[in-house]
Chains A and B, each alone.
Chain A
Amino acid sequence: MGANATPSAGKPPPERAASSSGSDREPSQLAAHEDTPGCLDSQKVGETAQFHENMLAMNEALMVGSVRQHDLTDAANSLNARLQAEIVERTQVEAALLAARTELAQANAELEQKVLDRTASLQETVAELEHFSYTITHDMRAPLRAMYSLGGVLMEECTECLKPSRLEYIRQIVDAAERMDKLITDALQYSGVVRQHFEPEPVDADALLRGMLKSYPEFQPPHANIHIDTHLPVVLGNQAGLTQCFSNLLANAVKFVHPGQIPEVRVWAESVQSQQTEEGAIEHAPSTLNPLVRIWFEDKGIGIEKQYHDKIWQMFQQLNKSYEGTGIGLALVRKVVDRLGGKVGVESEPGHGSRFWIELKPANSQPHPKPLTPDHPQ
C-alpha cells in the first residue's frame, strides 16, 4: 500500500517521491537524472555562460540594491532623526506636564490651606461679632435705660416745677432713648437671624398666627380687626423665625393706616405652583411638582407706590417718617424667608392698601402632614 508498495522511479512527481520515500532513495534518483541522454560538454559551457550572466545580473542587482540601500539609509536616517527629535520633544512635553501637574497639586494644597485659614479667620470674625453683639446689648443699652428711666422720673416729678416747653424737651429725650433702644434690639434680632442656622421643621402657621392675635392687644378690637380667612397650613419653617415674620407683617398692616383709621387686615393662604411665581423659582426643578404655600396679609392702609416695592425690603428703608419704626422689620422678614428657602412679595397702590405675601414650602413631606384645605376657599 502507498508509495512504498510501488518503488518505480520517475512516475510520481519528484518532490513527492523525495518527501515520501526517505533520504536513502535520493542518490538513485539523482543518478537517474544524470543518466538522461544529451551532450554533456555543450551543456556545461552553456551553464557557465548562464552562470556569468546570472552573476552579472546579480552584481547589477546588488549594485542597484546597494545604491537603493544607500538611499534607504538616508531616508531611515532622516526618519530616525525626526523620530529622535519627536522623542526629545515628547520627553520635554512630558516633563512640562509633570511639572505642571506638580505645580497644580501644590496650588491645590495651597488653596486648601487657604480655605482652611479663611474658614478659621471667618469663625474668629463670627465669634468677635457675637461678642460685639453681646457688648452692644449690655453696654450700649445700659445708658439708654438710664436716659429713658430717669427722664421718665424727671417728667413725672416736674410736671409742676417745669414749663410745658421744658417738659417737652425731656419727653423728646425719653422718646429718642426708647427709639434707639428699639433700633438696637431690632438690629440685634436681624443679625441673629443672619447668623442663625434654621433647621426647617413643620410649623403650624394657623396656630402660630391665632396665638399671636390672642396675645397682643394691638392686634385685637377695638385697635384692629384682623381676620384669618382660611385655615393656614403646616409649613416647613422655624417657629421663632416665622413668629418674627408674622409679627412684623401684622405690625406693619396695623401701623400704616390713615390717622384715625381702624386697621382692617385679612390673612389667607393659597397653594401656588413655583413656576407661576417669578423667575428663579424654575431653578428649583424638583420642587416644581410640589405646590408652595403663599400666605397673604392684606390691609386697607395707606399703600405703597410701585417704585418703592423693591426698596421697602432693604435694611433701614423708611418711606414715611411720620410712622414710628426702625426700617428693619421687612428686611428681617425677607431674611428669615430667604433662610427658609422661600420668597416674599408685595402688591400695593397708594390709597388702595397693600397685599404682602410670603411663600414657603408645605410640610407635606413631613411625618405629620396637614392637608391644605381652606375653610372658605377663595
Chain B
Amino acid sequence: MIRLLIADDHPVVRAGLRALFATEPDLDVVAEAATGEHAVQQSREGVDIVLMDLQFGGGMQGAEATRRIRQADGAPHVLVLTNYDTDADILGAVEAGAAGYLLKDAPPAELIAAVRAAARGESALAPTVAGRLEARQNSSGEALTTREAEVLGLVADGCSNRDIAKALFLSEATVKSHLVHIFTKLQVSSRTAAVASARDRGYIRPA
C-alpha cells in the first residue's frame, strides 16, 4: 500500500485527486494539506509520497516545503504537481529534492504511474518537461542562467532597469549587462521580443 499526502491550496484539486486515487487499490490518500507549512508537518506522519503543489496562495511555497520535507530522515518522496511547466519551476523543484514533476493536465493514468514510480524510488518527469529539459541541455550554450531568467521575469512584469536593480540589490549597470547577454542568447533586440522568446522557450512563466 502506498500512502499519499495531497498538498494543494484548492479543495477541488484535493478532492479530484482523492477521487482519482480511490479507484486504485494500492493507493491510499492518508492526509491532505492546504498550506506548505501544514504539508511539512503532515509529511512526518507515515506518508510514502507527497503530491506537492508549487504555488500556494500564501506562506511557504511548494519548492521550500519540498526542501524541508526532504531534509528529514526517511523522508517521503515528493512529486510536484503544477499548472506551469516553466524551466525555472522545474529546476527549483528538482533542486529542492523532488523526485518528479507532473503537470496538472496530465492524463490520470500518467499521474498514477508516476506515483507508483516515485514509490519505487524512480524519478518521474512529464514527457513534455523531460523533452524540454533535454532540449535545453542540447542547446546549453544559449540557456539563460537562473539570474538572467529572474531579471527577464521582472522585465515581463513591467519593471524598469531601476526597479529591477532595486528588487535584486544590484547596480543598474549590472542589470543592463544581464539584459545584453539575454538579448544575445535569445537573438533579439528588444525587451518585448526577449520576453516573448523566453516565454516560448519556457524560461519564464506564460502571461
A and B together in one complex: no
